[in-house]
Amino acid sequence: MKGFAMLKIGSVGWIEKDRPKCGPMDAICRPLALAPCTSDVHTVWEGAVGERHNMILGHEGTGEIVEVGELVKDFKPGDKVIVPAITPDWNSLEAQGGYSMHSHGMLNGWKFSNVKDGLFGEFFHVNDPDGNLALLPENIDLKVAPMLSDMVPTGFHGAELADVQYGDEVLVIGIGPVGLMAVAGANLRGASRIYAVGTRPVCIEAAKFYGATDFIDYKGGTISEQALRLTKGRGVDKVIIAGGTVDTFAEAVKSLKAGGRIGNVNYLGSGATIDIPRVEWGVGMGHKAINGGLMPGGRLRMEKLSRLVSVGKLDLSPLITHPFKGFEHIEEALYLMKEKPKDLIKPVVLL
């Protein structure tokens, strides 16, 4: 079969591979709609997960099941499914402890385009479909459905990690597709003012749509000075980080009230340490919590998040700025994610 792969760090291309084999607890799917992720860019061009040779990329998409193993109970060939980016081993001790995304080791619930071939092939393999897949509701447009694999669960996890409560003033740093879903998640959880940090007009318009009330340009001054000015010196209740660098944490801590909480879902690709400003962290006693996490996967969560879309409480269409038709456009879509032209939020490829 054909697949679009990372050939080695810094290089991608089309390759031929054997079709994956289906074990007793597995499913094999063919993709219906696919999206590249900023994490694919980190993987290929920054070597984020280390060297990989001829590994098929992709962890965002929907598919049709073509084969299931004899122990799979709830899915069958022909089912159209949402495929989460994170597909944990649900019988691991880490999953039993509540951290399925770290099943069998830190971040190891992330398998596609990390430790095995991803979705950008003519067929792909899913471990434990009963635990990991969700049926795609019929009224969800295939064009937006891949956003349920990663952008929605990751952005919403940012709002969970920051523990957004009714009336909270929330600072969302980064309003790419992940940050936009963090805005939407914070809004659904009852945030009052949402201060969104970003510069690209297309993202600012989408952030308004998802509930952002105020905007901060990180290129036009420090984030914390602007956040403190907008809150008349109070600071915000919660911060969600979905963009920036290791230095962004200092800005988040400075922007936060005592007792506030930071939820980070941004991938930190460089820098050995993160500096926490001592005084603004209450000289160690400010009750400012820093939480960071990989998105949780799982069928239950995927079913719940997709219900928000199918009942009309979450509209994903503003995220899709560059739709394509045809498998061959995966390459162009990935390069769009790498180059991030001003009018891009997210490309999607329909097959």
Interface ranges with ligand NDP (CB under 6 A): 37-39, 42, 150, 154, 173-179, 197-200, 203, 218, 242-245, 248, 265-267, 294-295, 340
Residue 144: name its binding partner from ligand NDP, Zn ion, none (Cβ under 5 to 8 Å by kind). none
Could you tell me the smallest distance in angstroms from the CB atom of residue 282 to ligand NDP? 23
The label of the residue with tokens 């064009």 reads 143
Could you tell me the smallest distance in angstroms from the CB atom of residue 66 to ligand NDP? 27
By C-beta, is 99 or 218 nearer to ligand NDP?
218
Binders of Zn ion among residues 137 to 176 (CB under 5 A) are 150
The label of the residue with tokens 């929605």 reads 152
Query: How many chain residues bind Zn ion (CB under 5 A)?
Result: 3
The label of the residue with tokens 């063919």 reads 30
Per rule CB under 5 A, is residue 237 in the interface with Zn ion? no
Phi first, then psi: give them for residue 254, nearest 5 degrees.
-70, -30
Taking the C-alpha atoms of residue 254 and residue 119, their distance in angstroms, rounded to an integer, is 40
Task: Give alpha helix (H) positions in the chain.
Answer: 38-45, 93-96, 129-132, 151-161, 177-188, 201-210, 223-230, 248-255, 299-310, 330-339
Structure tokens at 68: 């299931």
- Out of 5, 33, 35, 39, which residue is the one contacting Zn ion (CB under 5 A)? 39
Which among 296, 235, 290, 297 has a CA at the least distance from the CA of 268? 290
Taking the C-alpha atoms of residue 316 and residue 177, their distance in angstroms, rounded to an integer, is 10
> C-alpha distances in angstroms, 39 versus 105, 130, 284, 324?
19, 26, 33, 20
Could you tell me the smallest distance in angstroms from the CB atom of residue 199 to ligand NDP? 4
Structure tokens at 38: 């900023």
By C-beta, is 151 or 308 nearer to Zn ion?
151
By C-beta, is 52 or 80 nearer to ligand NDP?
52
Residue 103: name its binding partner from Zn ion, ligand NDP, none (Cβ under 5 to 8 Å by kind). none
Q: Which among 23-31, 38-46, 223-231, 311-319 is the span making contact with Zn ion, rule CB under 5 A?
A: 38-46
By C-beta, is 58 or 198 nearer to ligand NDP?
198
Residue 147: name its binding partner from Zn ion, ligand NDP, none (Cβ under 5 to 8 Å by kind). none
Could you tell me the smallest distance in angstroms from the CB atom of residue 112 to Zn ion? 9
Reduced to 3 states (helix: H, G, I; strand: E, B; else coil), residue 100 is helix
Could you tell me the smallest distance in angstroms from the CB atom of residue 127 to ligand NDP? 18
Residue 248: name its binding partner from ligand NDP, Zn ion, none (Cβ under 5 to 8 Å by kind). ligand NDP
CA 347 to chain centre: 14
The label of the residue with tokens 């400012």 reads 288
Taking the C-alpha atoms of residue 261 and residue 176, their distance in angstroms, rounded to an integer, is 21
Residue 175: name its binding partner from ligand NDP, Zn ion, none (Cβ under 5 to 8 Å by kind). ligand NDP
By C-beta, is 153 or 235 nearer to Zn ion?
153
In the bound state, the residue with its beta carbon closest to Zn ion is 37
List Cβ neighbours of 184 (8 Å cut-off, separation of 6 or more).
Answer: 155, 156, 210, 211, 314
Could you tell me the smallest distance in angstroms from the CB atom of residue 13 to ligand NDP? 22
Site residues (vs Zn ion, CB under 5 A): 37, 39, 150
